[in-house]
C-alpha cells in the first residue's frame, strides 16, 4: 500500500500506527483461519513483504469486520469461509509503515 503527502512525496514511515482496512474478496475467504480461537474475535495473520530478506514475514494479526466495520464473531468462521452471500468483509489491522502487506494463511510447502 502506498500513500503520498500534500506535495506528492511517497510516505513510508508513520509517526504512529494507523488503522487499515483490507477488502476481502469472496474468492479469498476460504483462506481466512482464526489464529486465536477462544477469545470471541475472528483474528487472522498479517504479513508484510521484507525486501531485504526477500520473503513474507508475519507481523501481528488483523480482525475480520463487516461493511460497517463491526467485528465478525469467531463463531461465524465456518459460514464466512463457505457462504459467498455472507456480506462484504474487511480485515482491520494496525500498520506502523506503508509497504506491501498481505492477509492470508500460510500453506504447507509443496513436495
Examine residue 63 and state whether it is found in any structural domain, yes or no: yes
Is residue 58 a part of any domain in this protein?
yes
Evaluate whether residue 10 is within a structural domain.
no
Per-residue pLDDT at 106 exceeds 70: no
Residue 89 lies in a domain: yes
Which domain does 24 fall in, by range? Answer: 18-103
- Asked if residue 109 belongs to a domain, the reply is no
1 found inside a domain: no
Number of structural domains the chain divides into: 1
Choice among 34-38, 52-56, 65-69, 75-79 with the minimum mean pLDDT: 52-56
Within a domain: 8: no
**Over the stretch 28-44, which tens digit does the pLDDT of each residue have?**
888 888 999 999 999 99
Structural contact between residues 72 and 91, judged by C-beta atoms closer than 8 angstroms: no
Within a domain: residue 87?
yes
Instruction: Quote the pLDDT of residue 78.
Output: 93
Q: How far apart are CA 58 and CA 46, in angstroms?
A: 6
Amino acid at each position: 500500500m502506498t500513500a503520498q503527502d500534500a506535495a506528492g512525496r511517497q510516505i513510508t514511515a508513520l509517526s504512529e500506527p494507523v488503522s487499515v482496512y483490507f477488502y476481502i474478496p469472496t474468492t479469498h475467504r476460504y483462506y481466512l483461519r482464526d489464529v486465536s480461537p477462544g477469545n470471541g474475535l475472528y483474528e487472522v495473520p498479517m504479513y508484510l513483504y521484507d525486501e531485504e530478506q526477500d520473503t513474507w514475514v508475519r507481523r501481528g494479526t488483523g480482525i475480520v469486520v463487516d461493511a460497517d466495520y463491526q467485528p465478525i464473531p469467531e463463531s461465524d468462521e465456518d459460514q464466512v469461509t463457505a457462504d459467498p452471500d455472507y456480506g462484504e468483509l474487511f480485515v482491520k489491522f494496525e500498520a506502523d509503515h506503508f509497504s506491501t502487506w498481505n492477509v492470508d494463511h500460510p500453506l504447507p510447502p509443496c513436495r
